[in-house]
Amino acid sequence: MSCKLKIGILGSGKGSNFLAIQNAIEQGKLSAEVRVVLSDVENAGILDYARRKGLNAVFVPPGKFRTKLEPAAEQKCVEILREAGVELVVLAGFMRMLKSIFLDAFDGRVVNIHPSLLPAFAGLEAWKQALDYGVHYTGCTVHYVTREMDAGPIIAQAVVPVLPEDTPEKLHARIQAEEHLIYPQAIQWIAEGKLTMSGRRG
């Protein structure tokens, strides 16, 4: 159907959020279409999942930096996403900061999921940061991407209790179960035109 939101997904890891989004689409809960999946990691699980679903899945060599893409790699991503007609870019475990070539091209049209209740515990291994800090509740956040790391307007959050017997792995698994619910829901709100970059529901 032509009214489906055309999305492009970027991920560096195993791809469980991609799968949750694709499953929500297949179950008719999310009115979107995955046009392309990109990864900066050649053997990332997300590329395997995407290929098994018959989707266009592309490895983009990131270049020499560890925490961001080289400008030429950002430009390459922009070209692939544009060619695929992508309207919304969905970061699903993409572990590099996007810079101005990318963010100018998709201004206000990039969303991310982060495994904590932002603004607490931005950055890497947020579930471990929460456990080490000793908070009793953490969770996950879907937000628009801005130039600052893990800091854009918030679209959706889910709360997860931290249990006495938690290990980093157990806590992350429970956070991920919530991610898989709120990310497709947040994208559906955008598809319905209920959200703007301000994060407000219309």
Task: Return residues touching ligand GAR (CB under 6 A).
Answer: 11, 13-17, 46, 92-93, 113-115, 126, 176, 179
The nearest distance, CB 54 to ligand GAR, in angstroms, is 19
Helix (H, G, I), strand (E, B) or coil at 91: strand
The nearest distance, CB 143 to ligand GAR, in angstroms, is 11
92 versus 162: smaller Cβ distance to ligand GAR: 92
83 versus 175: smaller Cβ distance to ligand GAR: 175
Closest CA to 114 of 182, 194, 166: 182
From the candidates 114, 143, 172, 180, give the one annotated as an active-site residue: 114
Are the C-beta atoms of 126 and 115 separated by less than 8 Å? Answer: yes
Are the C-beta atoms of 144 and 111 separated by less than 8 Å? Answer: yes
Bridge partners (DSSP) listed for residue 7: 34, 88
- Kindly tell me the number of DSSP H helices and DSSP E strands found in the chain: 6, 7
95 versus 101: smaller Cβ distance to ligand GAR: 95
The nearest distance, CB 17 to ligand GAR, in angstroms, is 3
The catalytic site residues sit at 114
